[in-house]
């Protein structure tokens, strides 16, 4: 209803300053009267089961990968504040976004929630602690453990082809070329 009143006030103002004609205001006012307050009300919220669903888990994981990569690259570059910041952002993603993400429709998914919870409890705090202390060896060890958790979850979800590097400073996901398949192997496919 407030939106309708705002539209009417705007039309009156624009008429007063000569920006639209009085005929246009009359047509707009008549239209608003015909559709009534229901036409100006806010859309109804989605059903609770849809409202609880956030973006897809894959979409959230793209952001997780970017944050993880940036944390590793920042540590390699001695940009410790940035590495600690990205570790905190990883924690926020696993605390706020991952639990509300819609799960993939293919592959097993029952293990995702407990594995994500375990990651949240260990990886972001360990990475942040190592970055805050500017300890390159501790950061590399925390990074390797976190990547191991990521890769274990990917394998458990039948997404083992998405590999997270265990060494800070590398691209996420791993995109190094795989050995070429032999000619005989390709012929049977």
CATH code: domain of residue 127: 1.20.120.10
The answer to whether residue 167 sits within a structural domain is no
How far is the C-alpha of 156 from the C-alpha of 151, rounded, in Å? 9
Determine the pLDDT at residue 36: 55
Determine the pLDDT at residue 43: 52
How high does pLDDT run on average in the chain? 82
Q: 73 and 24, same structural domain? A: no
Per-residue model confidence as pLDDT tens digits over 61-97:
999 999 999 999 999 999 999 999 999 999 999 999 9
Number of domains comprising the chain: 2
Determine the pLDDT at residue 14: 45
Domain range holding 98? Answer: 51-156
Q: 58 and 19, same structural domain? A: no
**Spans in the chain with pLDDT lower than 70:** 1-53, 183-189
The answer to whether residue 35 sits within a structural domain is yes
């Amino acid at each position: 209803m407030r939106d309708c009143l705002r539209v009417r006030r705007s039309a009156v103002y624009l008429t007063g300053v000569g920006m639209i004609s009085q005929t246009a205001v009359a047509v707009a006012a008549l239209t608003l009267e015909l559709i009534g307050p229901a036409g100006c009300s806010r859309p109804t919220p989605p059903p609770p089961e849809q409202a609880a669903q956030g973006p897809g888990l894959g979409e959230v994981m793209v952001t997780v990968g970017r944050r993880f990569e940036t944390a590793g690259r920042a540590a390699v570059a001695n940009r410790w504040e940035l590495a600690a910041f990205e570790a905190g952002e990883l924690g926020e993603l696993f605390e706020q976004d991952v639990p509300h993400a819609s799960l993939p429709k293919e592959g097993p998914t029952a293990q995702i929630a407990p594995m994500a919870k375990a990651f949240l409890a260990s990886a972001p705090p360990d990475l942040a602690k190592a970055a805050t202390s500017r300890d390159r060896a501790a950061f590399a060890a925390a990074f390797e453990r976190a990547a191991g958790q990521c890769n274990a979850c990917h394998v458990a979800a039948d997404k083992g082809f998405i590999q997270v590097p265990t060494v800070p400073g590398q691209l996420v996901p791993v995109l190094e070329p795989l050995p070429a398949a032999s000619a005989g192997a390709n012929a049977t496919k």
